Amino acid sequence: MPEKTGVGWWWAQLPLCLLLSLCSPWVPSSLGKPKGHPHMNSIRIDGDITLGGLFPVHGRGSEGKACGELKKEKGIHRLEAMLFALDRINNDPDLLPNITLGARILDTCSRDTHALEQSLTFVQALIEKDGTEVRCGSGGPPIITKPERVVGVIGASGSSVSIMVANILRLFKIPQISYASTAPDLSDNSRYDFFSRVVPSDTYQAQAMVDIVRALKWNYVSTLASEGSYGESGVEAFIQKSREDGGVCIAQSVKIPREPKTGEFDKIIRRLLETSNARAVIIFANEDDIRRVLEAARRANQTGHFFWMGSDSWGSKIAPVLHLEEVAEGAVTILPKRMSVRGFDRYFSSRTLDNNRRNIWFAEFWEDNFHCKLSRHALKKGSHVKKCTNRERIGQDSAYEQEGKVQFVIDAVYAMGHALHAMHRDLCPGRVGLCPRMDPVDGTQLLKYIRSVNFSGIAGNPVTFNENGDAPGRYDIYQYQLRNGSSEYRVIGSWTDHLYLRMERMHWPGSGQQLPRSICSLPCQPGERKKTVKGMPCCWHCEPCTGYQYQVDRYTCKTCPYDMRPTENRTGCQPIPIVKLEWGSPWAVLPLFLAVVGIAATLFVVVTFVRYNDTPIVKASGRELSYVLLAGIFLCYATTFLMIAEPDLGTCSLRRIFLGLGMSVSYAALLTKTNRIYRIFEQGKRSVSAPRFISPASQLAITFSLISLQLLGICVWFVLDPSHSVVDFQDQRTLDPRFARGVLKCDISDLSLICLLGYSMLLMVTCTVYAIKTRGVPETFNEAKPIGFTMYTTCIVWLAFIPIFFGTSQSADKLYIQTTTLTVSVSLSASVSLGMLYMPKVYIILFHPEQNVPKRKRSLKAVVTAATMSNKFTQKGSFRPNGEAKSELCENLEAPGDHSNQTHVCFSLP
């Protein structure tokens, strides 16, 4: 660029200097270059219309340097793609005929501030004056080389660079088409109205990545972003989409500083390891940062721990993973759908130092690509670097694979070419070359034509823009795989509005095709509900559904209905098994044995008594009440069968009737007997007259009156609460629902049972009281003492029954224990009565018939004080004509010394 001198020239630069002071701390060095100094930082190709180009030919510099190492793929490949596209357009007779496209291509050095400084070259022609007012010292006009006018810019690559440049270009209405910038911020048409791109926005990319994460069943991931618009906007879009779709949580979001300090990447790896369950790391970072992250992971010995998912900045590039293959193995990357441009492969493979002098960085690429030096002076003594021979060939003497964005660079150039062609057709119809209406080209008009283009790109895909200048979202999905000692990016799927992923093509380090886990919490087992961590829906604690609860959904446990219990895995409810006391149950063995033996014994006694009905011992026992008592004993034994039988309406009704009736019949008969004896002897102490109601008919009437009270109570109970069977699910509702059982039983509560047996107990207690009062009666007088022993024993049986019966009310075996206890107690009570009152008599009848004869009773002397008389009682036995035994208490009234005159006052005792 020629030297700029003179006061007028500096005044012409004043607006630019002011602009620089506002936008950047750097002043473009090109403005102050000495005369004759070539454009060492740019490529300049002459043409009728000049397009600008921004490419990251070099990486970001360190230690204050603007630029770093050469980017062979991301820089040189893309730059050559623009040159390739320009050659094709300029040689195409149908596209921009007779119009040549030129170029001014700059190196951004992967730094937004440096790119801003370089891009001011594009607007230099718009802010410089023509210099007509400037005069040389000789009075003649100065010789000024006017900079070319750039009508549109191809680039930049990084989103942060594109944003910085777009802010300048929009001021001068210069349209810009990016081939790689995907930040969602650039879709804001109000801020970046002159910006367009042939790649889709990261909004689509973020959606695609969320879909991939969900398809891989990862729900807990970390994000890693390079500081700047691309990284931060990409991560923000990913987080937003993950929240909208749900099911994916962010463990932590880590940002890589724009100027990382020493050890920064080691610190980043340590931070990612804080959430070790989040093994998947979503990366929106530039190529350099990706490589340094992988290096730090290797230093931390975390090879195979992390599963990387890279955005299109990683794509299918070799540079980030070179010599880091094991750390990067399994990485899933995404790249806008593309195809390899074979024409570019032929073009690039044919480039040499001789035929590619227009690319000022090609010599540097040559040295780096073939590991040689062009200048002998550059060779260091003792080094193994060879001298370049210029006979090296790309793809033959070095590895070559087309960079992923080459197609988009070509499409971007062609989009600009088609827009200019349409503009020329409308503004310069029939004109060869440019017409005045396109000289200069109006940027606002050109933008409209750019947004309207619709053509097939170099790979056959349609190239269009929406109202925000974005291309539609179409992506290829890759996985970096190591197979048989070689590595490759393998296509495993695609995304176009929805995900298509071929799982069988995926391969993971250490696990083959088995999907690795990146989850906060393991899935809950069936029967467990999730209790989510506040603010982190993907993290939860698994709480088992307890007791009788079952799992309704992932977050809820609910108690089963009262008649059901949870299934084995607690995912539903099932009916509780219903049980009853079976005939073959061990609990029924003893009651049935006692009942059968008791009934047999009772029938045996009845048969014996009936057969020997007229013998003295049967007559003396009081036949009427004896048979009533035997009937009661039989009912007590028979009750056992009702208690074990399956509960239904009939069985439950019979239980109500006969459970207390047998005991009432037995104790009513015994009470009548003891009461008669008591009244006789009490009456004998006071008077010589016989007590009332001691005849057999009276005794039966009293007995049946007592029994009728029991029957009356049962009838009232039937009216108030009709009998029915129920299934009680509370009796055996154990803590462990697996052992829960529903008990089929009659609807007789403990209180009802107490009331049912209470009357019988009252008769028993009353009978016991009379037995105690008549304990002094001579043993030969009727059955006073056997009845007493019977009642004492019966009381002991029922006193033992009460704590056993009511003490097991909370037992799981309540049904069996209480039924067995009740039936055994009733049978024992009946057995005591049968054994003590009847077995001795049967024994005498059968084995000692000689004792079954009438005999005079021994004299019973009772002192009765009545006036001045001494009364002497003797007991005699006589027999009625009908054969009924009759005992007489005779009062002998004797005068002292006179035995001839005796008076007998007698009353019969049946």
pLDDT in tens, 560-578: 998 999 999 999 999 999 8
**Interatomic CA distance for residues 889 and 904, integer angstroms:** 9
Q: Give me the residues paired with residue 887 across strands.
A: 877, 909
DSSP annotation string for 237-258? HHHHHHHHH-S-EEEEEEEE-S
**Rounded (to 5) percent helix, strand, coil in the chain:** 45, 20, 35
- Say if residue 24's pLDDT is above 70: no
**Interatomic CA distance for residues 334 and 317, integer angstroms:** 11
- Say if residue 870's pLDDT is above 80: no
The pLDDT score that the predictor gives to residue 130 is 54
The pLDDT score that the predictor gives to residue 658 is 87
The pair of structure tokens assigned to 235 is 């991560």
Instruction: Give the model's confidence band at 378: pLDDT under 50 very low, under 70 low, under 90 confident, else very high.
Output: low
- Say if residue 6's pLDDT is above 80: no
Q: Assess contact for 290 and 283: CB atoms under 8 A.
A: yes
Q: Assess contact for 459 and 339: CB atoms under 8 A.
A: yes
**Interatomic CA distance for residues 181 and 154, integer angstroms:** 11
What are the pLDDT digits (tens) for 234-267? Answer: 899 999 999 998 889 999 999 999 888 889 999 9
User: Where in 423-483 does DSSP place strands (E)?
Assistant: 455-456, 462-463, 475-483
Q: Which residue has the tokens 């009356």?
A: 712
Q: Assess contact for 791 and 608: CB atoms under 8 A.
A: no
SS3 assignment, position 862? coil
Residue at 653: amino acid letter = S
CA 870 to chain centre: 101
The pLDDT score that the predictor gives to residue 17 is 43
Q: Assess contact for 886 and 880: CB atoms under 8 A.
A: yes
Residue at 596: amino acid letter = V
The pair of structure tokens assigned to 742 is 């529903």
Percentage of the chain exceeding pLDDT 90? 43
Dihedral sign (CA 289, 291, 297, 299): negative
The pLDDT score that the predictor gives to residue 307 is 94
Mean pLDDT is lowest, of 175-179, 190-194, 383-387, 417-421, for 383-387
Architecture of the CATH domain 586-851: Up-down Bundle (1.20)
Q: Is 454 or 135 the better-scoring residue by pLDDT?
A: 454
For the chain, how many helices (H) and strands (E)?
Answer: 22, 34
Mean pLDDT is lowest, of 15-24, 81-90, 169-178, 877-886, for 877-886
The pLDDT score that the predictor gives to residue 848 is 86
The pLDDT score that the predictor gives to residue 128 is 61
The pLDDT score that the predictor gives to residue 12 is 40
**Interatomic CA distance for residues 889 and 899, integer angstroms:** 19
DSSP annotation string for 26-40? PPPGGGGPPTT---T
**Interatomic CA distance for residues 622 and 435, integer angstroms:** 148
CA 365 to chain centre: 56
Mean pLDDT is lowest, of 39-48, 320-329, 550-559, 622-631, for 39-48
**Interatomic CA distance for residues 513 and 528, integer angstroms:** 29
Q: Assess contact for 699 and 692: CB atoms under 8 A.
A: no
CA 452 to chain centre: 50
Mean pLDDT is lowest, of 218-232, 337-351, 745-759, for 745-759
**Interatomic CA distance for residues 839 and 608, integer angstroms:** 11
What are the pLDDT digits (tens) for 882-895? Answer: 333 333 333 333 33
**Angle ∠(232,233,236) on CA atoms, nearest 5:** 85
Work out the widest C-alpha separation in the chain, in whole angstroms.
200
Cis link prior to 722 (omega < 30° from 0)? no
The pLDDT score that the predictor gives to residue 432 is 87
Domains 41-128+139-199+405-463 and 202-340+474-505 share a fold: yes
**Interatomic CA distance for residues 86 and 417, integer angstroms:** 9
- Say if residue 345's pLDDT is above 50: yes
CATH 3.40.50.300 fits 41-128+139-199+405-463, yes or no: no
The pair of structure tokens assigned to 806 is 């009511």
User: Where in 99-203 does DSSP place strands (E)?
Assistant: 101-107, 150-154, 176-178, 195-197
Q: What is the CATH number assigned to the segment(s) 528-575?
A: 2.10.50.30
- Say if residue 284's pLDDT is above 90: yes
Instruction: Give the model's confidence band at 138: pLDDT under 50 very low, under 70 low, under 90 confident, else very high.
Output: low
* Mean pLDDT of all residues in 200-212: 92
Relative to beta strand 528-533, strand 536-544 is antiparallel
Residues 6 or more apart whose CB falls under 8 angstroms from that of 748 comprise: 652, 655, 656, 756
Write down the domain spans for the chain.
41-128+139-199+405-463, 202-340+474-505, 354-393, 528-575, 586-851, 865-909
The pLDDT score that the predictor gives to residue 837 is 85
The pair of structure tokens assigned to 304 is 């195979």
Q: Assess contact for 421 and 49: CB atoms under 8 A.
A: no
User: pLDDT averaged over the chain?
Assistant: 83
Q: What is the CATH number assigned to the segment(s) 202-340+474-505?
A: 3.40.50.2300
Instruction: Give the model's confidence band at 634: pLDDT under 50 very low, under 70 low, under 90 confident, else very high.
Output: very high
What are the pLDDT digits (tens) for 575-593? Answer: 999 888 888 888 889 999 9
The pLDDT score that the predictor gives to residue 513 is 82
Q: Is 678 or 629 the better-scoring residue by pLDDT?
A: 629
DSSP annotation string for 631-644? HHHHHHHHHHHHHH
**Angle ∠(233,239,245) on CA atoms, nearest 5:** 135
Q: Assess contact for 790 and 832: CB atoms under 8 A.
A: yes
- Say if residue 143's pLDDT is above 90: no
- Say if residue 623's pLDDT is above 50: yes
Q: Assess contact for 56 and 157: CB atoms under 8 A.
A: yes
The pLDDT score that the predictor gives to residue 688 is 61
The pair of structure tokens assigned to 522 is 């393991």
The pLDDT score that the predictor gives to residue 28 is 36
Residue at 463: amino acid letter = V
Q: Is 217 or 728 the better-scoring residue by pLDDT?
A: 217
DSSP annotation string for 551-602? EEETTEEEEPPTTEEE-TTSSSEEEPPEE---TTSHHHHHHHHHHHHHHHHH
Residue at 515: amino acid letter = L
**Interatomic CA distance for residues 4 and 901, integer angstroms:** 182
Q: Is residue 190 classed exposed, middle or buried when 0-12, 13-18 and 19+ CB atoms within 10 A define those classes?
A: exposed
DSSP 8-state assignment for residue 497:
S
Helix 78-90 vs helix 342-349: crossing angle, to nearest 10: 100
What are the pLDDT digits (tens) for 503-528? Answer: 999 999 877 788 899 998 888 899 99
Q: Give me the residues paired with residue 530 across strands.
A: 542
* Mean pLDDT of all residues in 855-870: 36
The pLDDT score that the predictor gives to residue 812 is 63
Residue at 881: amino acid letter = P
Instruction: Give the model's confidence band at 718: pLDDT under 50 very low, under 70 low, under 90 confident, else very high.
Output: confident
The pLDDT score that the predictor gives to residue 133 is 57
Give the residue from 388, 18, 466 showing the smallest Cα distance to 198: 466
**Interatomic CA distance for residues 323 and 490, integer angstroms:** 18
This prediction has a pTM of 0.57
- Kindly calculate the radius of gyration of the chain based on its CA atoms and give it in whole angstroms: 58
CA 220 to chain centre: 14
